[in-house]
């Protein structure tokens, strides 16, 4: 056995130990779908099942509110201008994009992020 192999643990014994351990199968990810239709929105949060859950966990900034379309799909609405936005809920954050026209004529997006509020 060389100096380096003794220094770093011998190699063969650890390899034999790893070979004997059974490999664990990864647990499948269980997603729960919300009770409301999603439309173009994406909701990847098991706590959000209703529009009331959206309001509780992801409170919107002043001037914005959740409204449902005739089909029951929730949207984020800017109240002052009646602008409607699709949203994404993922990794504890709700985001929606507001398009605007840049000085060079291209379309840019201002993203609003809402961090998930813990249960109360």
How much is the pLDDT for 27?
Answer: 78
C-alpha distances in angstroms, 25 versus 15, 17, 22, 28?
Answer: 20, 18, 9, 9
Tell me which residue of 102, 100, 69, 93 sits closest to 112, measured CA to CA.
93
Q: Tell me the per-residue pLDDT of 33-52, one tens digit each, with 9 for 90 and over.
A: 788 888 889 999 989 988 99
Domain count, the chain: 1
Q: How far apart are CA 95 and CA 13, in angstroms?
A: 50
Q: Does the pLDDT at position 56 exceed 70?
A: yes
How much is the pLDDT for 107?
Answer: 95
Domain assignment of residue 1, yes or no: no
Domain assignment of residue 94, yes or no: yes
Q: Are residues 10 and 17 in contact, defined by beta-carbon separation less than 8 angstroms?
A: no
Q: Does the pLDDT at position 68 exceed 70?
A: yes
The DSSP element (H or E) to which 16 belongs, if any, is: helix 12-20
- Structure-block tokens of residue 42: 């994406």
Domain assignment of residue 60, yes or no: yes
Tell me which residue of 33, 34, 39, 36 sits closest to 84, measured CA to CA.
39
Domain assignment of residue 89, yes or no: yes
Domain assignment of residue 120, yes or no: no
Domain assignment of residue 17, yes or no: no
Parallel, antiparallel, or unpaired: how do β-strands 74-78 and 83-85 relate?
A: antiparallel
Q: Are residues 37 and 71 in contact, defined by beta-carbon separation less than 8 angstroms?
A: yes
Mean pLDDT of the chain: 85
Supply the range of the domain harboring residue 70: 42-115
Domain assignment of residue 16, yes or no: no
C-alpha distances in angstroms, 46 versus 39, 67, 89?
Answer: 18, 21, 10
Residue with the bigger pLDDT between 19 and 107: it is 107
Q: Tell me the per-residue pLDDT of 79-111, one tens digit each, with 9 for 90 and over.
A: 999 999 999 999 899 999 999 999 999 999 999
How much is the pLDDT for 100?
Answer: 94
Domain assignment of residue 21, yes or no: no
């Amino acid at each position: 056995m060389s100096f380096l192999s003794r220094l770093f643990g011998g190699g063969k014994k650890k390899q034999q130990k790893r070979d004997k351990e059974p490999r664990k199968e990864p647990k499948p990810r269980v997603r729960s779908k919300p009770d409301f239709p999603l439309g173009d929105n994406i909701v990847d949060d098991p706590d959000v099942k209703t529009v009331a859950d959206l309001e509780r966990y992801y409170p919107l900034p002043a001037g914005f509110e959740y409204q449902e379309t005739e089909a029951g799909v929730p949207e984020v609405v800017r109240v002052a201008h009646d602008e409607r936005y699709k949203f994404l809920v993922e990794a504890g954050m709700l985001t929606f994009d507001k398009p605007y026209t840049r000085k060079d004529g291209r379309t840019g997006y201002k993203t609003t992020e809402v961090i998930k509020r813990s249960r109360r």
